[in-house]
Amino acid sequence: MVRDAHPGMTTSPARRNRLPNLLRQPLPQPPEALRLGPLREGAFPSTLRSTRLTSQLGLALAVAFTICFLTGLTSHFIQHPPSWFWWPSRPAGLYRFTQGLHVITGLASIPLLGAKLWSVYPRLFEWPPARSIVHAIERASIALLVASALFQLIGGVLNIARWYGPLPFYFTTGHYWVAWLTVGALLVHVGVKLPVVREAFVRPAPEEPGRGLSRRGLLGTVGAAAGVITLATAGQTITPLAPVSVLAPRRSTSGPQRLPVNKTAAGAGVRDRALDPAYRLTIAGPTGEIALSLDGLAALEQHTVVLPIACVEGWSATGTWTGVRLQDLIVLAGGDPETASAEVESLEQGGRYRTSTVASPHVRDRWTLIALRLNGAPLDLDHGYPARLIAPNRPGVLQTKWVARITVQEAS
């Protein structure tokens, strides 16, 4: 016996295909009278533009953006660690490398993105502007990718220059979330265009124009521009390149005691408190609180390490630091430096980085100091006098200056 299927249990092929067919249904043609300026046929006569050129530029840009995204994500997780994240204290210069690479690839992406946009510029003025709803959605997603990529690069340049006036939001938060938006749009774009890219690389290269700039010449020019930008800025973290890094906003030897400064004592509003003779560093641990004067800190066993300051803006510089090991101060307060972490507070009254947490890998590292001296002399006020944190493999914003209090946090 054959039973009739329940009407709600089946869907006809026509009904299943209704939405896809609707999305692909041609839209009405706009009036030809609107086809003016860049919309007119033959408005972009350059023979340099080709699918192969666009694919080559897109591949280079995708590599640069991927490196930039992963290194930027690393920096964000170090500063705002989720519960599962772990960051080692060694090698001491790892953050210096990853953040320097982040900024270098970001700057090198600027000419790549400019050339990529030039190569696809005529497609912004396709006629008709939207052939179907699907086509309109695809074009909107490309506009989103372009806008987010420009936002990231322009915002990154403003951050390197520490010029936040034009930004109506906190740079780090905006940069982080738009990075995810950019990468998501990029993955969708690559997925849609992958067959086109594959065909462009398999197909023989188009003939080069007889006169003027060739495709190889254009690619060479873009590569040279990326190289010049790299050389002209990388010296802020790669010391041997400093003499040719004329565009670097920081010099590794600029500033007091031959180290750059981002935030001064006056800017942080700590000058009077830092110079107060009654200054005490308080260490709070399981056995209570200990208050040490500057002379008291100087009377403890001193150690000297050579460590870089590596800032999120991409610059870094190496200094010779002398002070008390953080683990020794934790022991004084009854803590176990093998398992404890520490919250380090500044004399600053406010600010996003007034406090920082030193995780256990850095607490037990013998190179982590509460530094009192830099390059053979007492700390300059702008470098954190009377005492500052210096630890291996941490961003500069977490190397707390003008330290006022250390709270030992035992592992639960």
User: pLDDT for 23-33, tens place per residue?
Assistant: 567 767 777 77
CATH number of 265-409: 3.90.420.10
Position 1 pLDDT exceeds 50: no
The two tokens of residue 210 are 């007889």
Mean pLDDT of the chain: 87
Position 301 pLDDT exceeds 50: yes
The two tokens of residue 330 are 């934790």
Helix (H, G, I), strand (E, B) or coil at 249: coil
Q: Domain map of the chain by residue range?
A: 45-206+215-238, 265-409
Comparing 309 with 167, which gets the higher pLDDT?
309
Position 235 pLDDT exceeds 60: yes
- Span 165-169, average pLDDT: 76
Residues paired with 318 in a beta bridge: 308
Comparing 389 with 315, which gets the higher pLDDT?
389
Residue 233 has a pLDDT of 87
167: Cβ contacts below 8 Å, ≥ 6 apart? 155, 158, 174
Cα–Cα nearest to 266, from 412, 381, 390, 128: 381
Element at 317 (helix H, strand E): strand 316-325
Residue 47 has a pLDDT of 76
Residue 11 has a pLDDT of 56
Residue 140 has a pLDDT of 83
Using the structure block, give the residue that is written with the tokens 């900024």.
Answer: 103
Torsion (CA) 150, 151, 153, 158 in degrees, nearest 10: 140
Position 210 pLDDT exceeds 90: no
Lowest mean pLDDT among 21-30, 148-157, 327-336: 21-30
Position 18 pLDDT exceeds 90: no
Position 113 pLDDT exceeds 60: yes
User: pLDDT for 125-136, tens place per residue?
Assistant: 777 777 788 778
Comparing 95 with 46, which gets the higher pLDDT?
95
Residue 128 has a pLDDT of 79
Whole-angstrom distance between the N-terminal and C-terminal Cα of the chain?
Answer: 68
Handedness of CA 302, 305, 310, 315 (dihedral sign): positive
User: pLDDT for 355-411, tens place per residue?
Assistant: 999 999 999 999 999 999 999 999 999 999 999 999 999 999 999 999 999 999 988
Is residue 318 within 8 A of residue 376, CB to CB? The reply is no
Position 96 pLDDT exceeds 50: yes
Confidence of residue 314 (pLDDT cuts 50, 70, 90): confident
Position 103 pLDDT exceeds 70: yes
- Span 32-49, average pLDDT: 74
Lowest mean pLDDT among 52-56, 72-76, 300-304, 384-388: 52-56
Cα–Cα nearest to 222, from 110, 65, 113, 111: 111
The whole model's pTM is what? 0.86
Residue 114 has a pLDDT of 93
User: pLDDT for 132-154, tens place per residue?
Assistant: 887 788 788 888 899 999 999 99
Cα–Cα nearest to 46, from 257, 261, 199, 209: 209
- Span 58-63, average pLDDT: 92
Position 270 pLDDT exceeds 50: yes
- Span 285-306, average pLDDT: 96
Comparing 291 with 240, which gets the higher pLDDT?
291
Is residue 70 within 8 A of residue 62, CB to CB? The reply is no
Confidence of residue 201 (pLDDT cuts 50, 70, 90): confident
Lowest mean pLDDT among 17-26, 182-191, 355-364: 17-26
**DSSP state letters, 120-175:** HGGGGG-SSS-SSHHHHHHHHHHHHHHHHHHHHHHHHHHHHTT--TT-SS-HHHHH
Confidence of residue 17 (pLDDT cuts 50, 70, 90): low
Phi and psi, residue 57, nearest 5° = -65, -40
200: Cβ contacts below 8 Å, ≥ 6 apart? 50, 51, 52, 54, 55
Lowest mean pLDDT among 3-7, 199-203, 242-246: 3-7
Cα–Cα nearest to 157, from 26, 389, 313: 313
Position 197 pLDDT exceeds 90: no
Position 12 pLDDT exceeds 80: no
